[in-house]
Structure 1
Amino acid sequence: MELRHLRYFVALAEELHFARAAQRLNIAPPTLTVQIQEIERTLAARLFARTRRSVALTPAGEVFLAEARAVLERFARAESAGRRAGRGEIGRIAIGYVGSAAYAGVLQDQTRRFRAGFPAVEVGAREWPMESLPGLVADGEVDVGFVRLPMALPRSLRTHVLLRDYFCLALPVGHPAAGEAAVAPERLAGEGFVAPEQGAGTYEVARRGGFAPRIVSAPGSLLAVLTQVSLGMGVAVVPSVVREVVNLPNVVFAPLAGETIASEVAALFRTGEAGPMARNFIRQVIDTPELRLSPDDWARARSVG
Structure 2
Amino acid sequence: MESRPLRYFVAVAEELNFARAAERLGISPPPLSRAIRQLESELGAVLFERTTHSVALTPAGEVLLAEARFALEALEAAGRRARRAADEPKLVLAMKADGDAGLLEAILARYASEPAALPVTFRLCAWQEQSRLLRQGEADVALVYEPYDRTGLDAETLAVEPRVAALAVGHPLAARAGLGLADLGLRLDEAHRYIDEVRGRGRDLAQLLTLVGLGDLFALLPASVADRYPRPGVVYRPVRDAPAAVLAVAWPQRSRSTATAALVRAAVSVADEKGERAAS
TM-score (norm 1): 0.54
The answer on 1:173 being equivalent to 2:173 is: no
- State the distance in 2 between where 1:130 and 1:165 align: 18
- State the distance in 1 between where 2:199 and 2:159 align: 29
Larger Rg: 1
Q: The residue matched to 1:283 in structure 2 has which SS? A: helix
% identity of equivalent residues: 22
The answer on 1:278 being equivalent to 2:260 is: yes
Amino acid at match of 1:240: A
The answer on 1:232 being equivalent to 2:232 is: no
TM-score (norm 2): 0.58
RMSD between aligned alpha carbons? 3.3
- State the distance in 2 between where 1:165 and 1:120 align: 29
Q: The residue matched to 1:247 in structure 2 has which SS? A: coil
Cα distance change, pair 160–205 in 1 and its aligned pair in 2 (3 A): closer
List per-residue Cα deviations over 1:71-105 (Å, max 9, x = no partner).
xxxxxxxxxxxxxxxxxxx9311111123323x12
Cα distance change, pair 101–217 in 1 and its aligned pair in 2 (3 A): closer
Find the counterpart in structure 2 of residue 116 from structure 1. Answer: 113
Give the drift of 1:141: 1.4
The answer on 1:96 being equivalent to 2:83 is: no
Find the counterpart in structure 2 of residue 269 from structure 1. Answer: 251
Q: How does 1:36-185 map to 2 (within 5 A)?
A: 91-102=89-100, 104-118=101-115, 121-154=118-151, 156-185=152-181
Q: Which runs of 4+ in 1 moved over 6 A?
A: 213-217
Give the drift of 1:292: 4.9
Q: Can you give the 5+ residue segments of structure 2 that lack an aligned partner in the other structure?
A: 1-87
The answer on 1:189 being equivalent to 2:177 is: no
- State the distance in 2 between where 1:177 and 1:205 align: 21
Q: The residue matched to 1:171 in structure 2 has which SS? A: strand
- State the distance in 2 between where 1:161 and 1:130 align: 18
- State the distance in 1 between where 2:234 and 2:259 align: 42
The answer to whether the 8 A contact 2:142-2:251 is kept is yes
Give the drift of 1:238: 1.5
- State the distance in 1 between where 2:189 and 2:105 align: 27
Q: How does 1:214-233 map to 2 (within 5 A)?
A: 218-233=201-216
Q: Aligned pair count?
A: 189
List per-residue Cα deviations over 1:38-80 (Å, max 9, x = no partner).
xxxxxxxxxxxxxxxxxxxxxxxxxxxxxxxxxxxxxxxxxxx
Give the drift of 1:171: 0.8
Q: How does 1:236-251 map to 2 (within 5 A)?
A: 236-251=219-234
The answer on 1:204 being equivalent to 2:191 is: yes
- State the distance in 1 between where 2:268 and 2:198 align: 37
Indicate the structure with greater strand content: 1
Give the drift of 1:120: 6.8
- State the distance in 1 between where 2:193 and 2:251 align: 32
Give the drift of 1:269: 0.6
Cα distance change, pair 111–252 in 1 and its aligned pair in 2 (3 A): same
- State the distance in 1 between where 2:203 and 2:189 align: 14
Amino acid at match of 1:269: W
Cα distance change, pair 165–230 in 1 and its aligned pair in 2 (3 A): same
